[in-house]
């Protein structure tokens, strides 16, 4: 009997290019807090959890309450943009998800994004029926490059780590897959970033 196999998808940059939505949300949220964030600072933080990003940008002003408030505000703004404007999947992403589903692969989204974002994007992209699990920031304690998000996703699917393939675009995510003992496919966006 063969072991079940799974594909664990990062979300942002692998299934859809949400970079502009995140950039606009961060820029405007932080500007309202009196903090100017450059696009270079934003790009350096891409793929990390909010509780790691915001304190780095606030410095001494960071308090747990302010970090949570700014993170919640940014994510609400992000979801509003996605809901209003929609989001286009990256070329071939939806086709691969559907083909793998048809071929019997278990699949999950394993993201550093808040669960509400993961659920919204899966729904807007039309991927909900192909995903057996949706794992977001609230499901783990540590962000990438820690392997926890991928290990939690594998456990949710009932698949051993060595039988998982991660699809990722960020260096932190690739390192997380390596630490989890999983194979990893890096998208070409990583090369061009």
Q: What is the pLDDT of residues 125-179, one digit of tens each?
A: 999 999 999 999 999 999 889 999 999 999 999 999 999 999 998 888 999 999 9
Q: What is the pLDDT of residues 145-154, one digit of tens each?
A: 999 999 999 9
Quickly name the fold that domain 19-85 has: DNA polymerase; domain 1 (1.10.150)
| Calpha distance 155→133 (Å, rounded) | 10
CATH architecture for the domain at 6-17+89-192: 3-Layer(aba) Sandwich (3.40)
**Looking at the chain, which residues constitute the CATH 3.40.50.1000 domain(s)?**
6-17+89-192
Round the average pLDDT of the chain to a whole number and report it: 93
pLDDT at 49: 81
pLDDT at 192: 38
Cβ pair 167, 100 in contact under 8 A: no
Q: Which residue stretches of the chain have pLDDT < 50?
A: 190-193
pLDDT at 2: 79
**Looking at the chain, which residues constitute the CATH 1.10.150 domain(s)?**
19-85
Neighbours of 187 (CB within 10 A): 18
**Residues marked as catalytic:** 10, 12
Q: Which helix (H) or strand (E) holds 183?
A: strand 183-186
| Calpha distance 47→45 (Å, rounded) | 6
CA-based radius of gyration for the chain: 16
């Amino acid at each position: 009997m063969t072991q079940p196999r799974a594909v664990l998808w990062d979300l942002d940059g692998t299934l859809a290019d949400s970079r502009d939505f995140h950039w606009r949300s961060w820029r405007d949220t932080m500007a309202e807090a009196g903090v100017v964030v450059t696009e270079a600072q934003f790009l350096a933080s891409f793929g990390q959890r909010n509780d790691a990003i915001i304190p780095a940008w606030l410095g001494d002003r960071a308090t747990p309450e302010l970090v949570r408030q700014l993170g919640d505000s940014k994510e609400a703004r992000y979801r509003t943009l996605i809901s209003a404007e929609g989001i286009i999947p990256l070329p071939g992403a939806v086709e691969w998800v559907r083909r793998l589903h048809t071929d019997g692969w278990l699949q999950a989204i394993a993201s550093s994004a808040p669960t509400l974002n993961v659920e919204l994007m899966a729904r807007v992209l039309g991927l909900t029926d192909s995903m057996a699990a949706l794992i977001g920031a609230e499901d783990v304690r540590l962000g990438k490059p820690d392997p926890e998000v991928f290990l939690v996703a594998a456990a949710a699917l009932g698949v051993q780590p060595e039988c998982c393939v991660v699809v990722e675009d960020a260096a932190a995510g690739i390192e997380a897959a390596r630490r989890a003992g999983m194979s990893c496919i890096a998208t070409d966006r990583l090369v061009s970033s």
